[in-house]
Every structure is written in structure tokens, then in C-alpha cells.
Amino acid sequence: MTPVVAAVAAVALVLAPASTALAPAPARVQVSAKEFFFSLSRHKVFAGAAIVELVNFGEDPHDLRLERIGGGRVWKTPLVYPGAYYDLDAKLVPGRYRLWCSIGNHRKLGMTAVLTVIPR
């Protein structure tokens, strides 16, 4: 790289608008599914972009439903078979979220959890 090209590149980095700054990484939480319970890798995440990963460690297919308590939108995963996983992308606002498996009577058998989303 010539000195002139290097200088231009350095000036471009310094003068780059703030809008090009990196956005915070999405919050991540893993939901482990097994007959008949959910286990969360963490119970609190920051508001904003999130990846909720359902991993099926059980012997039966499971899915995941996610809804803010008092809210209306329900995020859904497809059916996840034993040994598989699914990453659900969501934008979460502060509040408490109910998680459950909607397959058959899995919810009644205990496949539920609560996730708290806190302000950044």
C-alpha cells in the first residue's frame, strides 16, 4: 500500500459518520427442550435484537412459542426434531415473556418458562 493510499484510508476511518458504528450484538438465549421441561441458558436478556435458540435434547419433537405477557405477538418456531435446533430471530421490548411448547399436552406437562427482557 502506498503512503498516499494509506493516508486516505486513515482519514476515511476517522471521518466516517457515527451511523456506521457497529450495532450491539443480538442477545442470545438457549432454550433446552427435553421431556417435559424447558431450561433456559439465562433468564434475563437486554431489549433489542435477540436470538432464541431452541435445542431439542429430548426424544420427541418440540416447538417453541414466545409471547410477551400482556402483549399480542407470538413468535413461533417450526417443529424441532430430537438432536436438532432452530434459531428464532426476534426484536424484544422490555417485559416478561412466556415460553411454551405447543405440541399436544406438552405445556400442561411442564414445558414452560419465563424470560425477562430488561432495558439497555
pLDDT of residue 43: 98
Q: Considering its fold, how many domains does the chain have in total?
A: 1
Residue 83 lies in a domain: yes
Residue 94 lies in a domain: yes
In the chain, where does DSSP find H-type helix?
3-15
Q: What is the CA radius of gyration of the chain?
A: 20
| CATH number of 65's domain | 2.60.40.420
Give CA–CA dist 56/37, Å, rounded.
Answer: 11
Indicate if the pLDDT at residue 20 is higher than 90.
Answer: no
Residues 41-59 pLDDT 10s: 999 999 999 999 999 999 9
Domain around 47: 24-118
* Sequence-ordered strand ranges (E) for the chain: 27-34, 37-40, 44-46, 48-56, 65-68, 74-76, 85-92, 95-100, 112-118
